[in-house]
Amino acid sequence: MNPESALNGQVALITGSSRGIGLAIARRLGQMGARVSLCARKKTDLDGAAADLRAAGIEVLAVSTDVTRPDEVSRLVSETQRSLGAVDILVNNAGIGIFGPFYHQTEADWNSVLDTNLKSVFLTSRAAAPEMIRRKSGHIINISSLAGKSTFANGAIYCASKWALLGLTGCMAEDLRAHGVRVSAICPGSVATEFSPHAGKDPSRMLQPDDVAHAVAALVTQSPGSFISEVQIRPTQKP
């Protein structure tokens, strides 16, 4: 399979794709021939990302979206279908982290993290799934974290969102597998982005956004008779 044409004719929608991991995933899937739909809250960042991908010859739609709002998610999926075609690949990457002792955090902190990291996955997947079911094909990939497999001090709300996301992912996979739709989770360790502070860590020894993009590319090019439920990614050396 030629990696530059493996996804020709397919449409990939990536949330939280104006920078970091999401942008790396969009670039990789676009390089493989997919038409990509980008979304993020900040229009200026989104426009810059879209321009970058278009300069590389990738067909791009950019829709400023708050993925915690059902009306905006519905509009995102509708605009993607109208402009690019039915969604073949949905990558739920949008996420935030608020860190600190749980007893210092507020209900607003809880709502912000859970809405972005968990509710948004429910909303976007619910919006994209009916057409995938109708076509009996599709991939939904949820970017979780190794924080969804372990716990650490100051990570209560973030870990809660990622543990829940793995539960949601597993149930979605069971709901959709009979319809030919494959659902997977990717759990990276710390990635060298501006997402959260990495005090004392050497960025050159951390995971890079392209490492996560590589895992996404592997998942969407699986043979049709199987699917990988979960991928865990760690750096070869501890940072």
233 backbone dihedrals φ, ψ, rounded to 5° = -125, 130
Q: State the pLDDT at residue 235.
A: 93
Q: Active site includes 158?
A: yes
How many structural domains comprise the chain? 1
Q: State the pLDDT at residue 57.
A: 97
The answer to whether position 167 is within a domain reads yes
The answer to whether position 1 is within a domain reads no
Structural domain including 72 reads 11-233
104, 148 contact by CB (below 8 A):
no
Q: Give the full edge-to-edge strand order of the sheet including 138-143.
A: 60-64, 35-40, 11-15, 89-92, 138-143, 181-188, 230-233
The answer to whether position 209 is within a domain reads yes
Which token pair is 116? 């972005």
Per-residue DSSP letter, 102: G
Q: State the pLDDT at residue 5.
A: 85
The answer to whether position 5 is within a domain reads no
Each residue's pLDDT, cut to its tens digit, for the chain (239 residues) gives 556 789 999 999 999 999 999 999 999 999 999 999 999 999 999 999 999 999 999 999 999 999 999 999 999 999 999 999 999 999 999 999 999 999 999 999 999 999 999 999 999 999 999 999 999 999 999 999 999 999 999 999 999 999 999 999 999 999 999 999 999 999 999 999 876 556 667 888 899 999 999 999 999 999 989 999 999 999 998 87
Q: What is the C-alpha separation between 112 and 101, in angstroms, rounded? A: 16
Query: Given 158, 172, 184, 217, which residue is catalytic?
Result: 158
CATH number of domain containing 134:
3.40.50.720
